[in-house]
Structure 1
C-alpha cells in the first residue's frame, strides 16, 4: 500500500509540474491530441506516441482476423513485450517495468481509441501480473 501511495504521489507531483503549460482541453482540436490532458506529463505523451504507433502498426491491421479466429497471434505478445507494453505498473524485480498507473492507462486508452479490445493486454498486465507479483515466489 505504501508503494502504491508513493507511485501515486510521484505521478501527482509530475502532473502539478506539467499542469501550468498545458492548454485547456476545450482549446484542443481533438481530445486525442497529445499534451491536452493535464493529468499526464510530457513523458506520458512520449509514451503515448509509442503506444499509438504500435497499435496502428501491429494491432489494427490484424484485429478483425483475431476476432474471427478467437485469439491474437503469439507474435503480437512477443512484440508488445519488446516494446515494453506489458507489465507496465509491475515492479521491475517481478518482471515488469516499474512504471506508473498512468502509463498503464495510456495503453488501455489507445487500444480503446482504436476500438481494439482483443489483445487483452490489461488482463495480463493489470490483473494477472499483480497477483503473481504479490503472491508468487522466486521459486515458482
Structure 2
C-alpha cells in the first residue's frame, strides 16, 4: 500500500490527476474478476494502439508539411546563428528549423549532438497478452499486479 501511496504522490507531483487509492469493494465494483485488498485507480488513464497512433501522427505531420527521410543516419548536427540545424547524413546535409529526436535507444547520441549532454535512457517494454478469448470481457480495463 505504501508503494501505491508513493506512486500517487509522484503522479500528482508530475501533474497527473484522478489518482485514487481504492479498497477491495470498489475494486470489485470496477473489475469483478479481479481479487485484491486495495489498488490504485486512475480515472484519466487509457490505452492506445501505439502502431496506429504513430501512423496517424505521421500522416498528420506529413499533411502539414513534414518530410521523412528513412535510412539516413544522422552523424553530426550543427546549428547556425539563425537557429537553423544542419544534419549530416551519409546521403547529404539536411537543413531544418526543428529536430524531433525519435531515435529510440539511439536518442542519447542525438541529444549529445544537439548539445543536451547526459540524457539518461530508461528503456521499458510491456506486453498485453490474453491467451483465452473468453477472458477478455472479464477485464474491461488494464489491471497490473
TM-score scaled to structure 1, two decimals?
A: 0.26
Higher percent of residues as helix: 1
Higher relative contact order (CA 8 A, sep 6+): 1
Higher percent of residues as strand: 2
- Which protein is bigger by CA-based radius of gyration? 2
TM-score scaled to structure 2, two decimals?
A: 0.25
